[in-house]
Amino acid sequence: MSFETVSQSRCFNGTQFVYRHASHETGTPMRLAAYVPPQAEHGKAPVVWFLSGLTCTEENFTVKAGAQRVAAELGLILIAPDTSPRGEGVPDDPEGAYDFGLGAGFYVDAIQEPWAKNYRMRSYIERELPALVAENLPADMGRQGIMGHSMGGHGALTIALRNPDRFRAVSAFAPIASPMNCPWGDKALSGYLGPDCSTWREYDACALIEDGARVRDLLVDQGAADSFLETQLKPELLEQACVRAGIPLTLRRQHGYDHSYFFIGSFIEDHLRWHAERLKA
């Protein structure tokens, strides 16, 4: 299956694409953004995935993070998927809340109705979309990294922990460190998966680490002025889990920074260089 090009723009001698395709997993059209650096004109390039947070689409990271300049220098393909299925007939939170339903797929495969048919973001990100990227882009799928923000940070950590042979590098901005222990996660996991908390563990980075999952190392940036820090994000839980498991974690608490893309834009270059170093041939 091929991507349909929605738009393309020259950017730092590479090309910023927005694509659309029909997804088998979600049963809906899905959009993604892909930055292809100039080095890809001469051979396959390593891939870094960025998973966005609550309410976001593929556009937020692409437009706001300022990542293309550094990706062009380092020769990295950047893939930014949408955060949930969308379209006619796709269920949404009946009260219109921002933290469940459209824009809030939480990178899980839902098993509760009415969500189970469309909300299959885990399988979409882990299986379907990588195969399409390999088929349609000059991507070296043997060299992949993954990062994300907030809900997407949760997604990046859990997907990397479940697929350690696929990802050489993983990092996050203000991730939801333990969805089992915060209001956002409790609402999403109970809604999509049901009340049996044992089924939630594969979607919680701290629980995955406790259950034996490992990655080589982690980079996490957290704004110290983030309004969600104490109630939703709880990076100290990830820190404790990594210490117990012996996983090297670089956790940087950034004074004065909040949860916004101004925060991400301030440190995106550090993260891309972290990934590039680990994705060398």
- What value does the CA radius of gyration of the chain take, rounded to a whole number of Å? 17
Active site residue 154: no
Is 44:52 a contact under the CB 8 Å cutoff?
no
Among candidate residues 52, 171, 178, 259, the one labeled active-site is 259
H-state helical runs in 75-150: 121-123, 129-136
- 86 contact partners, CB below 8 Å, separation of at least 6: 28, 29, 102
Query: Catalytic residue among 150, 154, 204, 275, which?
Result: 150
Residue 72 phi, psi dihedral angles, 5° rounding: -65, -40
Which one of the listed residues 99, 109, 204, 226 is annotated catalytic?
Answer: 226
Gap between the Cα atoms of 119 and 16, Å rounded: 27
Dmax over Cα atoms in the chain, in whole Å?
A: 51
Closest C-alpha to 33, from 12, 64, 57: 57
Extract the tokens encoding 87. Answer: 């379209």
Q: Round to whole Å and give the CA distance between 184 and 94.
A: 16
Whole-number Å distance between alpha carbons of 237 and 177: 7
Can you name the residues that pair with 39 across neighbouring β-strands?
Answer: none
User: Does the annotation mark 226 as catalytic?
Assistant: yes
The secondary structure of the chain in percent helix, strand, coil, rounded to multiples of 5, reads 40, 25, 35
Cα angle at 143 between 140 and 145, to 5 degrees?
Answer: 120
Supply the residues annotated as catalytic.
150, 226, 259
